[in-house]
Amino acid sequence: MEKLGWKILAIVFMCLFATWVGIGIYVSIQDSAEFDKMNICYYDICEEYADAGYSNNVCSCYDYDMLGYLNIEKTEYMD
């Protein structure tokens, strides 16, 4: 029975490692897509505004008013 124990433990560790690698790949792909959308918001949609913000597929462009406060000038939903 001792010879079988290390094999089971090795299989469990290989399964855990494969799951960890799979989750890491999935998270990096999702993060890359969000980073691309953020760049589109900052550099394509809001290029003529002072500042931009991207959150939950919504791009908001900000510009300064006469008193120096940032106001939302444009909001666009990104698919």
Banded pLDDT at 25 (limits 50, 70, 90): very high
> Is the pLDDT reported for residue 18 higher than 80?
yes
22: pLDDT strictly greater than 70: yes
What percentage of residues in the chain have a pLDDT greater than 70? 97
Residue-level pLDDT at 32: 84
Regarding pTM above 0.85, the answer is no
Q: Residue 1 above 60 pLDDT?
A: no
Measure the CA–CA gap between 63 and 76, rounded to whole angstroms: 15
